[in-house]
Structures are given as C-alpha cells and as structure tokens.
Amino acid sequence: MVRTYEQLGKTHVMDARFHYEQVEKFTADYEKWTRADVFDRPEDFSDEPAAKREVILVGRHPEHPGDAQAFAQLARRMARGSTVVFLDQAVFDKPGQPTGWLPLANKGGIGKSLHIVYHPDQWTKRHPIFDGLPTGRIMDYTYYREIVPDPAFVGLDPPPEAVAGGITTSYGYFSGLYVAVYNFGAGRFILNTLFIREHLGEDPVAERLLRNMLRYAARELDKPVTELPVDFARTLDAIGYR
C-alpha cells in the first residue's frame, strides 16, 4: 500500500478520490485497513464539472508539469463543495516559494523548529481529526514521537480551524501550524505537515490520523455541488492560479 501511494504521489496532483462508502473501509482493524483499495484507483481530473462533492487526497508531487492549470482544476472542485486533504506541504513548492501553490492569497511560508534541548511545545486541539488519540493538550511523545515534524506553516492568516501546531519561547521564538482547516468557496481544504505519509503501514497513529482526516473531510458529501461564483476568475488571480 505504501509503495502504491508513493507511486501515485509522484504522478498525480490528485492521488485518489474517495466517496463515503470507500472512506468507511478504513476501520480500526489494521488488516482490513491495509486491504482497502482506495489507493489503487487514481482518476484523472477532466475539465468537466464534478457531478457531486468529493474527498480528494493530494500527495507530495503535483502532476507534470504541476502548473497553474492543474491546481486551478483542483480549486474549482473545492469551490463547488469538495474537500481536499493536502497530506504533504511539498506539493505547494514553487521555484523560490515553498508555498507558492497554496490556495490562499497570503502564502505565508514554511518554518522549521529545531528539536534540540529547548524543543518546541507541540499541541493539539480537541478535534475530529484527532479522534481516538490523546488530544487537547501538549503532544505526548509516547504516541506522537514518530510523526512530530520539523516544518510548519507560518505567517498564514488565522484559519477557521487551527488543529495542531508548535511553539517555542525558551530559545528564540517560533510558532507554526502542523494541521489546519481552511474554507474555500463551498468546500474546504486541510493542510498538514505531520509525518503521516512517511509512516503509513508502520505507525498506527499515522494510520488513525489519515483515516480521521478522510472521515472528517467526508462529512458533507451528501450536500449538492454549488455553482462557481461569478467572480471566481478573480479568486484564481488572487491565489496565483491564473
């Protein structure tokens, strides 16, 4: 499964599309979870409007050539009601701008905190993405030591849902987000820098978090898609997708 995911992540902007019944295959039973075949059916995204809302999982590398047109297709689906899970911040990398393809006007940046003697305090909010895990406090390394990242999103506008992050005040100052949820038109997107992708098949916490993200993203799949706003071209201009 992990090997397949790596392959998909290198060749598709959108690694896979999930419908609710597929998301439900991600059960607490590890054997059933690894047999779930949602990773094995990548679908190319056409210019045709989606007939219904989707959950879209995005990997590390955009589809060649990874240009504005590819990301604009993704933005249109979000604006009409779909939810996108960005599993790795590297997908936003644009030459000279690590967050150049982030679907926000204020791109912020990627900061890194040093995990030395004076390490940052990593925190989690009580949120469905952390369902079934210790949350609402400082991260317990007993559970999270494998997935705590160095990179974090910094300098962004405050998200509607700040889910996890880190802060250092004892040795200089650093504050950034590891997981956040932003609205985009009628849809949403989830940002993540936690090392989930790197530990699938190895760490049950990574698998739980991915499953929770997909379930959370699927909450409004039964709602109808909406029409694009009449000024959507301006939105694409504002986020650098046109």
104: in domain: yes
Average pLDDT over residues 181-193: 97
69: in domain: yes
Residue 65 — pLDDT band, cuts 50, 70, 90? low
Picking from 130, 103, 111, the residue whose alpha carbon sits closest to that of residue 191 is: 103
How many residues in total does the chain contain?
A: 242
Q: Containing domain of residue 209, as a range?
A: 2-109+176-238
157: in domain: no
132: in domain: no
134: in domain: no
Whether the CB-CB separation of 107 and 154 falls below 8 Å is answered with no
147: in domain: no
189: in domain: yes
pLDDT of residue 172 exceeding 80: no
Give me the pLDDT at residue 47, please. Answer: 63
Most confident of 11-15, 50-54, 187-191: 187-191
124: in domain: no
Domain count, the chain: 1
Average pLDDT over residues 85-94: 92
